[in-house]
Chains A and B, each alone.
Chain A
Amino acid sequence: MIIIGIMLFTMLFMWGALAISYNTANTENGTYLLGITLSTQYRKEKEVTEILAEYRKGFRRLTLFGFLGCFVVFPLNRYMSFLLLWVMVWYAVLIYGYHENIMKHARRLYQLKQEKGWLTGKPHIVRIDTVLSSIGNKGLISPWWWLPVWIMGIVGLVIALLQRTTAEAFLWVVVSLLVAMAGLTLADRGIRRMRKKVYCDNTQANQTINNTVQREWSFCILFHGYGIAIDLLLKVLKKYFPAAGSIGQDLGEINGLQGIKVALLSLSILFSFAIMLRAYYKCQKVKRQILDSVAVNGGELYGDDDEYWLNGTAQSGTNRLVEKRIGIGFELANTSANRGIEKGVLIFTAIFVAGIAVFLMPFDFAQVTLIMGEEKCRVEAAGMGHSFAWDEVQEITLLTEKPKMSKKSGYDSNRFYLGDFHVSGHGSCKVYVALETDSVIQVTTTDEKIFFNGENDEETAQMWEMLMLEIEKKAK
């Protein structure tokens, strides 16, 4: 049930983030409406409201599809591989649908703007504020704040490398967190190198807006970098130094309340989202206040670079990141190099997800089988297995109820537990158990315990009988 809960929450979060992002096109997002620069005086025009109404219709349909698609997790919960494929297809359809909907209506609005002569500035113009360009990155958060983040990351990596003989797979967890940190560091660098946008003819106003945007988002990314670094260090301490890592101890294990762990995870995701929303709304507020003030005092506002956004030739200079016109945060500037990067990321993600789905398929259709040889008996499921020698067997017991188990390494879904598990009352054991079957066979050897069962109680009972016969034969 917990896995279903996590999957449902994740999908709802993905859907919600996308819907909120594209919903910003519905409302007056600073100087933009549907991603197009449109002066306030024209936003109530009949043709504009008609285009907006059509956009909203498409938006609502997609949002409903996205919401209902989340609940496919229930019928597919037995098959993680298919569920992953569904999530990939569902999200791809959503992103494509939302994108096409906005671009179609943005183009219509831009065409209307041109026909009516509602341009707020001259087209094809690139503006440079000489004072703003000279200032560079003054007033931004110092990049040296990343140093503690990377120190924590490297310390974690060194500990994991020194201890890798005991748990090699865990090293990949550390590496993936470091890759995430590197991604955030690059994103922060991209924000620092962003082209300064000239909003109006007032240098002070331009400087304040640009500084606010860069500083707020830089802080947001730095905050997440610290979060990942602290998480990495705690995970490493908990893995390799259980006593010292007690501050990172899993509350679910201490109290037996796995729900607390899920709740904490959910809260941390929501908190992360709250930090991003804070940055977004602060930037919007500052822009509105300053530009309204400039307009009231007779200053000139610039804005008509819509054609660059629509045609995919963003005025981004040599920088990779531009502020989003729709949604929260930043996106890759639509240059040919970045389009290549985006395509590469999409293809890699599709291959990666499909690869994981294929990898998981044997687990979804697994069957626990018993292979009884002359000297050894082997328990197998989904390509994983464990053998024990007959002459090491001390006891074989058929339990009517499975003891509580938590994963140490291996596979756990809502159908199977396969691998090394901590079993309540028995310590670390080998487990090959179908969760839908209540009964389980416990084999105790001289140095370990193995738990396994069949598809149902009858099959499990048959396995036990076969084992007992074999043991009796060997005893004779």
Chain B
Amino acid sequence: MPNKITFFITAILALTAAICAMRLRNPVHCALSAALAFAGLAAVYLELDAQFVAFAQLLVYVGAISILALFAVLLTRGMEVGPGAAIASRSWLTGIAIAIATLAVIAGPIYASSISFNLPTDSVVAPVHSIGQDLMSRYLLPLETIGLMLTAALIGAAVIASPDLITKTARHKAPAREPQKAEPILASTT
């Protein structure tokens, strides 16, 4: 069945890219592999007929978040792993145990919830029109909350990156005032 073949191809591509994002030495290669993993995920969404989610995933993750990750990698040079150092950390067993525990915490409630009992038999068609209407009626509170959070993040980022804040704090800490005695002397001689 062509659906299964394309799904396996895209799934293997996404998984390989995700593994490369963990295992490669060069951080820029890792970030680009992560972008490829996001694109693979978008392809999986497309196969599930969720067009809006797939394109939004491409637009947000590949178009913005990958670039953010790349800028972060570039601005923090010196974090590259040297040619002789090992990629895997020494406490890899503990890491795997924590990962399995997290998976259990996430997967447990999902399996116990009502979704796993009555899975939809045919693919759910969610045209953009119905997504828009649901966002404005049923999911209005989450939408507004997310909007508020994004605004707070934007303002916070602008404040942190603002040069005025840095110079103001510097000036506050070290008030250097020049002596202003020059003018009265000149005034007295005229």
B and A form one assembly: no
Q: Which residues of A contact B (CB under 8 A)?
A: none
